[in-house]
Amino acid sequence: MPSFKLVWRNIMRRPLRSVLTVASLMIAIFLICGLRTLITTINAGVEHADSRRLAVMSATGLFVELPMNYQAKIDRIDGVEMTTKFQWFGGYFRSLKHFFAQFAIDPVSLLAMYPECQLPPEQKAAFIANRTSCIIGDGLLKDPEMNWKVGDTVPLIGALHPHPDDKAWEFQVAGIYHSSVPSFDNRTMFIHWDYYEETLKRGGVEPGVGVFSIRVKPGADVARVIADVKDTFQDSDQRVDCQTEAEFQRQFVTMFGNIPLFVGWIGTGVLIAILLATINTMLMSMREQSSDIGVLKSLGFTDGSMFGHMIAQSLFLAVLGGGAGILLSWATQNAIANGLGANFPGFEVKNETFVLAAVVAIAVGIVAGIVPAWRASRLRCVEALRGTE
């Protein structure tokens, strides 16, 4: 095969066209990385779900509250080891632009049930001891306007639950937690249930619970516990739905539709479009080089080496574009994660996704080069030199 220098010079024969093709490939690979990451993020929550944890919510929907007294009834069900509760607080910091998830929780049971919520022992103790304190995920600190530290006071406007004194809620940062699994969002604030409940009651509001989380005893029959939980509230005012944490995660992220299918279609479309664009570029390039191919063959280069020469050009474009796309994905993943916020907690481009993107780029390079490479290899020397091809 002719030298790499000739491959490079032929690519740069039409610099603008090559740059545009590389840019298209970069954007396509960037999109594929992003779209693939949406799917892996959804799946990560499911994959890392604790098989002993169950979620209980209103059978009507996630946004309908359950009475607090349900917790005691759940605790009595055979096979239940522990319960904790979550209630969406729905506040915002300064403006709606700084929206992030906040939940009222019971610190002791939450930290016991979710060991993946990791924070230093002294911060854990401080959080449990101070009823007006909170803990925040380290993912939130990536936002320069929310770069809080332990000891800071965070004022939140209670959009969903206004403060009875008609002022902002204030929480002292007792700790900054790190999530060891993608399924536990690292961009959330947790506040004391007791403080939340007392404050609301002072304003005459009876708080409810969004989700009860259950940890079943080791060896317990999970299916039976689920059935028992549902049966317990079958005749109550609020019937409940109970499901495994994995199923709950899956439903939460797909409540806007079948995201993996949708994302898959977009990804396939992007892939086909860039493949066609690259094939077109390579066909134009091959036509421009047909006389050179005739000369190279007359010098003794074989049909096979001409095939390789064209494939190398296509592959080189694809590797450049793919590499740039992968770099762009890597560089922007934090910004995208911040942009997606609590809708897709744990958005992080996995190494497997980078490998997949690299494989896709290489495959595009090879596939796009096959037709022009085949034509180059079949090109008759005499016709190419005569300029009849």
Partner 1 sequence: MSEVMIRVNKVSKAYERGNETLVVLDQLSLEMAAGRFYALMGPSGSGKTTLLNLVGGLDQPDSGGLFVAGENLAELSSSELAHWRSANVGFVFQGFNLIPVLSAIENVMLPLSLTPLSRAERKKHAELALELVGLKDRMHHRPKQLSGGQEQRVAIARAIATDPKVILADEPTGDLDRASAQQVLELLSRLNAEYKKTILMVTHDPHAADYAQSIVHLDKGQLGRIEDKQPAARGA
Would you tell me which residues interact with partner 1 (CB under 8 A)?
2-3, 5-6, 9-10, 12-13, 291-292, 294-304, 380-382, 385
* For partner 1, the closer CB: 236 or 302: 302
* For partner 1, the closer CB: 228 or 303: 303
Q: Are strands 133-137 and 169-179 parallel, antiparallel or unpaired?
A: parallel
* For partner 1, the closer CB: 155 or 304: 304
Q: Write out the two tokens for 195.
A: 């403080």
φ/ψ (deg, to 5) at 143: -80, 120
* For partner 1, the closer CB: 257 or 300: 300
Please, are residues 309 and 355 in contact by the beta-carbon 8 Å criterion? no
DSSP 8-state code for residue 66? B
Q: Fill in the amino acid letter for 244.
A: T
Residue 313 beta carbon to partner 1: minimum distance, rounded to whole angstroms: 12
Please, are residues 171 and 129 in contact by the beta-carbon 8 Å criterion? no
* For partner 1, the closer CB: 359 or 382: 382
Residue 37 beta carbon to partner 1: minimum distance, rounded to whole angstroms: 40
How many other C-beta atoms are found inside a 10 Å radius of the C-beta of residue 193?
23
**Which residue, among 128, 123, 175, 120, has the nearest Cα to 148 in the 3D structure?**
175
Residue 319 beta carbon to partner 1: minimum distance, rounded to whole angstroms: 20
Residue 315 beta carbon to partner 1: minimum distance, rounded to whole angstroms: 18
DSSP E strands in the chain: the ranges are 53-58, 80-88, 101-105, 117-118, 133-137, 153-156, 169-179, 188-192, 211-216, 240-244
* For partner 1, the closer CB: 128 or 295: 295
Residue 35 beta carbon to partner 1: minimum distance, rounded to whole angstroms: 37
Please, are residues 293 and 384 in contact by the beta-carbon 8 Å criterion? yes
* For partner 1, the closer CB: 10 or 329: 10
Residue 384 beta carbon to partner 1: minimum distance, rounded to whole angstroms: 10
Q: For the chain, how far is it from start to end, CA to CA, in angstroms?
A: 21
> In angstroms, how far is CA 172 from the centroid of its own chain?
29
Residue 310 beta carbon to partner 1: minimum distance, rounded to whole angstroms: 15
